[in-house]
Chains A and B, each alone.
Chain A
Amino acid sequence: MTVLSIRPQAPDSPAPRRAKPARRRRNAVAMMLAVPAMGLFLVFAIYPMLRVFYLSLFDYSLTAPPEFIGFRNFTYLATDPQFGAALWQTVVYAVGTYVPALTLALVLAHALNTRAPGSGLLRLLYFLPVAISWVAVSVIWRVVLNPDGLLNQALGLHLNWLTSSSSAMWGLVVMGVWKETGFFLILFLAGLQSIPPELHEASRLDGAGAFARFRYITWPMLLPVTAVCSVMAVIRGFQAFSPQLVLTDGGFGTQVVNLFVYKTAFENARMGRASAVAVLMFLLLFGLTLLQLKVFARRDR
């Protein structure tokens, strides 16, 4: 049984004398307990981030001392066709993968939001790809996307999925949709199950059809989940790395920004330039997230 020790007080009665120091002491203890976690966060999250900002102003080849060059890394990137291409390829991958994945997840969540026999197993099956690592998925899909592979056989095509600039990105997109739909499906399912069933019952009695119920009840109630999903989709899309590295090594128009950063930093030993890309991406993602939150907040009103 929970005991609440807060005594009701008259609005203008002074607080008990000993309450403040006790609260202060509790807060101090809480702060002390939080110190190790905050310390770790500062050392392993905040410091590296600040260090990346700092390094973006240097020419740093990993093996020689960094040399301050101001904003030259940023001006180089502004005119670098490879960086421009990487940015564009990231946008194509993110939009191509996550718009269908979110749509499909929403549709499937609707279909699976029942207590029908087998729906639990279906949910599990849809979620399975999420549980497999990107590297393992990539190895499996290398077989699927092979010229003699399952996808060509299933569709009756003769495409060289991973060795052509016209199809490599779409091969990765198909794989991405397969891998990511389950993740959003679970979030949407949780959102759907939090909608009180009485709302749908009442609207059904009022004669609302399926589309009207979705348009005026489900969709508005799902808006907070959709906002979270869309923010996560943008972040996940812009963090793409492993499948591009494993399947194409960034060739054939699949060099996404994170792979560009990795190659620039660790293969080409241009750490300062890679840091500048990371800074730009941070600012871009930060801006996009704020924009999304603003849009959804307005709709929520």
Chain B
Amino acid sequence: MAKRGLRSLRHIRRAGAGILAAIMAAATLSACGGGSGDGKVTLTFWTHTHPPMIKLNQTLITEYERLHPNVKIEYQQIPNDEFDTKMLTAMSNGSGPDLLNLDDTTLRGEYLPKRLLAPIDYGALGVASEDALKARYLPGTLDGASADNELYGLPSEFNATAFAINTKHFADAGLDPNAPPKTWQDVASASRKLAAAGHTQAFSFLYLSAGWYTQQLQTLLNETGGTITDANHEKATVTAPPAEAALKIWTDLATGAGRTADPNKTSREATSPFSDLATGRQSMAMVYPWAMEQIRESNPDTFAQLKLVPLPQVNPAKPVNRWYGYYWGVSRASKNQQQAWQFIAYLASQSQRWLSDVKFIQPVKGWDTSAAGKQVPGLDVWSAAYQQGKFDEVAPHFAEIKDAMMTMVNDAVFDHVALPEASRKASDQIDRSLGS
């Protein structure tokens, strides 16, 4: 009896060792990357969520897999408000994707300084050199994914900022939609007339997240000549007069004499940022090309009432705009970098479909004179905006700086803290961040 027990114990131990060996062998095989014994390559691809973009990505993936039967692409979308956190955490522990799609401030602020991305593989993209690649794009537009004179990504979408006005609201208020506001003071005066006609949420900034606060403030900073930090990113400059002028424009429109809406009644729903404009509550808004497409899909009736006009300016004689882009890049940790760049080459080669299907403008030369480009509503406004733009400033620990910007605006707009006090507090916070 005891002997039989011992034998069965030995048997169990042997079986256990066998199972363990099998598990370890499987783990070792899977750790070898996306390759498998039959020569197939699996690429993982992560993006944020934007329904028209997801749809086209899925179509392009199906096409690419049909053209390249040895490649399988696993496509995953991450909710926008979780994207940065999940991506950074995944990249830090080696579980990140082969291919990713990130905005230029995140790339320049976090991923490129930390060397998380692989430089462009020109051979895999099918171009002879960096100069040959740059020759395909409008000047400066690849700089959003550039560090130390090296390129790390290709633009999937490239955005400038314009202004959308609701022509029906304008007509209700006796305003001429063909003579839209040119300055922020014009926005304030139009708002008074719109409010008198019952449109009390005439214009509002979007109070969604630190990133949204900062990009809108950066738009104003570009116009006033202000900055967040000095050129070497050693000290905050938000207390300097040009930066305070930008904050003053914001607070005047939100709470001052030129009040254009009640910021407490603005939608703070980050999953549909432009819902106030799209549902017809708001009369004017700062917009981007992708936003107009989202409104067209979700609220076609309101979209029909919207007119795209140039962004109001501090100095209309010298208009200034703001650029931001999303770029396809390849993780430095990817074991299939060449195949990943080949797939990016395919995505980037479809710029006409990105234009027609998603209204993502890729800054390839001649996009505005192409067949699909000519169909983009407000083409002349976007074209002009692209001529006047520049990328946002980034600095080390930029996530902390964005938090400081958000707190500064909240202090001034919602808690009515005096501007010098609000900007001094933000300046202290930024200085602490830069110095630690």
CA distance A268 to B264 in the complex (A): 28
The chain B residue with its CB closest to the CB of A60 is: B92
Residue of B110, B116, B400 with most chain A CB atoms under a 10 A cut-off: B400
Q: Is the CB of B415 within 8 A of A252?
A: yes
What residues of A have a CB within 8 angstroms of the CB of B89 in the complex?
Answer: 62, 266
Q: Is the CB of B92 within 8 A of A62?
A: yes
The chain A residue with its CB closest to the CB of B207 is: A163
The reply on B399 being an interface residue by CB < 8 A is yes
What residues of A have a CB within 8 angstroms of the CB of B263 in the complex?
Answer: 163
The reply on B232 being an interface residue by CB < 8 A is no
The chain A residue with its CB closest to the CB of B264 is: A160
CA distance A281 to B373 in the complex (A): 57
Q: Is the CB of A269 within 8 A of B414?
A: no
The reply on A213 being an interface residue by CB < 8 A is no
What residues of A have a CB within 8 angstroms of the CB of B88 in the complex?
Answer: 62-63, 266, 269
CA distance A81 to B89 in the complex (A): 27
The reply on A80 being an interface residue by CB < 8 A is yes
CA distance A270 to B436 in the complex (A): 10
Interface string of A78-95 (1 = CB under 8 A from B): 001110000000000000
The chain A residue with its CB closest to the CB of B397 is: A268
Q: Is the CB of B414 within 8 A of A163?
A: yes
Q: How far is the CB of A245 from chain B (nearest CB, A)?
A: 10
Taking A251-B407, A251-B410, A252-B410 as contacts, is the C-beta distance between A76 and B91 under 8 angstroms? no
CA distance A166 to B415 in the complex (A): 8
Q: Is the CB of B114 within 8 A of A63?
A: yes
Q: Is the CB of B406 within 8 A of A251?
A: yes
The chain A residue with its CB closest to the CB of B417 is: A165
Pick from B264, B399, B407, B432: contact of A267, CB below 8 A: B399
Q: Is the CB of A268 within 8 A of B429?
A: no
Q: Is the CB of B403 within 8 A of A263?
A: yes
The reply on B3 being an interface residue by CB < 8 A is no
Taking A63-B116, A266-B88, A267-B84 as contacts, is the C-beta distance between A80 and B432 under 8 angstroms? yes
What residues of A have a CB within 8 angstroms of the CB of B265 in the complex?
Answer: 147-148
Q: Is the CB of A76 within 8 A of B414?
A: no
The reply on B85 being an interface residue by CB < 8 A is yes
Query: Using a CB-CB cutoff of 8 Å, which residues 81-136 of chain A contact chain B?
Result: 81-82
Count of chain B residues near A, Cβ 8 A: 28
Q: How far is the CB of B2 from chain A (nearest CB, A)?
A: 15
Q: Is the CB of B429 within 8 A of A164?
A: no
What residues of B have a CB within 8 angstroms of the CB of A201 in the complex?
Answer: none
Q: Is the CB of B85 within 8 A of A147?
A: no
Taking A160-B264, A251-B407 as contacts, is the C-beta distance between A268 and B415 under 8 angstroms? no
What residues of A have a CB within 8 angstroms of the CB of B406 in the complex?
Answer: 251
CA distance A98 to B429 in the complex (A): 32
What residues of B have a CB within 8 angstroms of the CB of A61 in the complex?
Answer: 114
CA distance A15 to B349 in the complex (A): 88
The reply on B209 being an interface residue by CB < 8 A is yes
Residue of A61, A163, A165 with most chain B CB atoms under a 10 A cut-off: A163
Q: Is the CB of A76 within 8 A of B436?
A: yes
Query: Using a CB-CB cutoff of 8 Å, which residues 190-212 of chain B contact chain A?
Result: 207, 209
Interface string of B394-436 (1 = CB under 8 A from A): 0001011001001100100011000000000000110010001
CA distance A62 to B114 in the complex (A): 10
The chain B residue with its CB closest to the CB of A62 is: B92
Q: Is the CB of A249 within 8 A of B209?
A: yes
CA distance A63 to B429 in the complex (A): 24
Q: Is the CB of A268 within 8 A of B114?
A: no
Taking A249-B209, A266-B89, A268-B397 as contacts, is the C-beta distance between A164 and B414 under 8 angstroms? yes
Interface string of B75-118 (1 = CB under 8 A from A): 00000000011001101100000000000000000100010100
The reply on A33 being an interface residue by CB < 8 A is no
Query: Using a CB-CB cutoff of 8 Å, which residues 38-74 of chain A contact chain B?
Result: 61-64
Q: How far is the CB of B65 from chain A (nearest CB, A)?
A: 31
CA distance A88 to B397 in the complex (A): 25
Interface string of B355-377 (1 = CB under 8 A from A): 00000000000000000000000
The chain A residue with its CB closest to the CB of B411 is: A165
Q: How far is the CB of B133 from chain A (nearest CB, A)?
A: 27
Q: How far is the CB of B12 from chain A (nearest CB, A)?
A: 14
Taking A63-B91, A63-B116, A76-B436 as contacts, is the C-beta distance between A163 and B264 under 8 angstroms? yes
Interface string of A233-257 (1 = CB under 8 A from B): 0000000000000000101100000
What residues of B have a CB within 8 angstroms of the CB of A263 in the complex?
Answer: 403
Q: How far is the CB of B186 from chain A (nearest CB, A)?
A: 27
CA distance A213 to B399 in the complex (A): 58
The chain B residue with its CB closest to the CB of A147 is: B264
What residues of B have a CB within 8 angstroms of the CB of A62 in the complex?
Answer: 88-89, 92
CA distance A82 to B264 in the complex (A): 25
The chain B residue with its CB closest to the CB of A250 is: B403
The chain B residue with its CB closest to the CB of A269 is: B88
Interface string of A271-287 (1 = CB under 8 A from B): 00000000000000000
CA distance A165 to B429 in the complex (A): 18
Q: How far is the CB of A227 from chain B (nearest CB, A)?
A: 38
CA distance A267 to B397 in the complex (A): 10
What residues of A have a CB within 8 angstroms of the CB of B432 in the complex?
Answer: 80
Q: How far is the CB of B428 from chain A (nearest CB, A)?
A: 8
Q: How far is the CB of B398 from chain A (nearest CB, A)?
A: 9
Q: How far is the CB of A288 from chain B (nearest CB, A)?
A: 29
The chain A residue with its CB closest to the CB of B263 is: A163
Query: Using a CB-CB cutoff of 8 Å, which residues 230-277 of chain B contact chain A?
Result: 262-265
Q: List 21 A-B contacts (CB under 8 A).
A: A62-B89, A62-B92, A80-B432, A82-B429, A147-B262, A148-B265, A160-B414, A163-B410, A164-B414, A165-B414, A165-B415, A166-B415, A249-B209, A252-B410, A263-B403, A266-B89, A267-B84, A267-B403, A268-B400, A269-B110, A270-B397
9 A-B pairs closest in CB distance: A62-B92, A160-B264, A63-B114, A266-B85, A268-B399, A163-B414, A63-B92, A165-B415, A268-B400
Residues in A lying within 8 Å of B, measured CB to CB: 61-64, 76, 80-82, 147-148, 160, 163-166, 249, 251-252, 263, 266-270
20 new A-B contacts, CB < 8 A, other than A82-B429, A263-B403, A267-B399, are: A62-B89, A63-B88, A63-B91, A63-B114, A76-B436, A80-B432, A81-B428, A147-B262, A147-B265, A160-B264, A163-B263, A165-B415, A166-B415, A249-B209, A251-B406, A251-B407, A252-B410, A252-B415, A266-B88, A266-B89
